[in-house]
Amino acid sequence: MSKLVTLSQRNLLLKSDILKDYPKLKSFLETTPDMDSSELHTLDKEVRNLFNSKIFNAISNKAPQEWEVDKDRTLESAKELKNITRCQICNTKIKNICYIKNKINNNRLIVGSTCVTYFGILDKKELEKILSEREIIRRRAEINKSINNIEKTFQELDLFIEKSPIIIKNKVINKFVVLKSEAVDLHTKYIDSNLDSNEKIKIINRIKDILPKIRVEKNKIIEYIDKNKVNKFIVTKGIYRSVGYDDRCIPDLEEDGFVSERNIFRVKDIKFIKSIIGDFNKHLIDHNMKIIRAYEYARDIYYQIDMGNKRYAIVDYKYSDFAFNYGSLVFGEEPLEEISLDKVFRNSKIRSEVTINTILNSIEDIIIKKEFELEDVNKEFNEIIIKNCKNDRYIILNFSETIDIFKELAISSNKKLHKDVIDYILSCKNTKSYYEMDSYRRQTSI
């Protein structure tokens, strides 16, 4: 078990001036030198609160700043003072003896050279700062005694909101925030200001009056969370973080507490985006389409959509654009753009291997009739190589550009497209002879 107070803390505090502000703590340190932290519950309530509220830690951390090296006494060897062999702070054997003194009460201690490094020489301004900070700690202890563990209460209220799985809308949380802020401001005023006793009593009574009202508002928030936490449109912490610092969206989310048609397209939380696939599919099914999945790509999120045609075309539609155009459907409203297979297809990208192969097969079927051959497809080098059988020259097309231009071949094939494909191939300037192609192949294979 760990000690409630270490030996070094106890020895230093008993000689420090700050302890006179805490007579019960002083008595405890004098009479109970060796207590485990597990026995904290057995202490007097006032002393126990000093530990629970971490005010003891503040006292312990402030005490060393009262001390300085005693310049009137020089460092001496332990051999010269054989009867003094242990440090009066940590009680370990020492070789070099240092003398330190308390600048406030003039107490003196004999310590080892290791322990003396914890104490610095402080000027008057620094000493005044120590005394001021010490007074703040004393006031903290004072108000904490009057309002049991008030600082711990504030910490728990902060943690309560921090741990909420959802963003609480303004209408529900505003009164809680206002009351808590007032209580915190009063507490800060108490410990930072030199108030008279009447002013202190007013502050304590006002905080005591506020705390029950805060608990009432906290219970309302708990009810709100329990009621709405399973609603997919409630603003979770994940949804809130996903919109980043979007000034246009944050106020709406905080005001409403729910995702709406005004901001659904701004959400970048993949969990939410996946959860509404079924809501979109209820409308897409009428147009023979279906969202298969949502995935992340290059810091964006896409819906992969089965176009439902005979060629089994799969397209990829950027979520933010899709939700901008059709997000209102989820909320039973008219979409910004009328939904249709052609419009969805036109605004999508082609990434599916199955769909790419469908397009390439269609191109091959078209060109073979015009005495061209699909020689090779090299995705690594982003090229499609087509042989012109009439003149034995090789045409090198840009792969991604070709797929994008003729993606319509994934869902249909018509005479105009046939002509467009041939015209596109013939307009390509990147051509090579048989011998040039042989050399080119060797280079690209390295």
Q: What does the pLDDT look like over 64-96, one tens digit per residue?
A: 888 887 766 655 544 545 566 788 888 888 877
Closest to 219 measured CA to CA, from 173, 166, 150: 173
Closest to 30 measured CA to CA, from 22, 42, 38: 22
The mean pLDDT value of the chain amounts to 88
C-alpha dihedral sign at 259, 262, 266, 271: positive
Q: Which helix (H) or strand (E) holds 219?
A: helix 197-228
Model pLDDT for residues 294-315, shown as the tens digit of each residue? 999 988 999 999 998 766 889 9
Structure-token match 């409203």, residue found: 333
Closest to 88 measured CA to CA, from 70, 104, 72, 71: 70
pTM (two decimals): 0.69
**Confidence grade of residue 124 (pLDDT, cut at 50, 70, 90):** low
C-alpha dihedral sign at 70, 74, 78, 83: negative
For the chain, the C-alpha Rg in angstroms (whole number) is 38
Give the number of other Cβ atoms within 10 Å of residue 119's Cβ: 21
Instruction: Give percent of the chain above pLDDT 70.
Output: 91
Structure-token match 């993949």, residue found: 270
Give the number of other Cβ atoms within 10 Å of residue 427's Cβ: 8
CB 4 within 8 Å of CB 35? yes
Closest to 367 measured CA to CA, from 344, 326, 327, 395: 395
What is the SS3 assignment for 353-421?
A: HHHHHHHHHHHHHHHHCCCEEEEEEECCCCEEEEEECCCCEEEEEEHHHHHHHCHHHHCCCCHHHHHHH
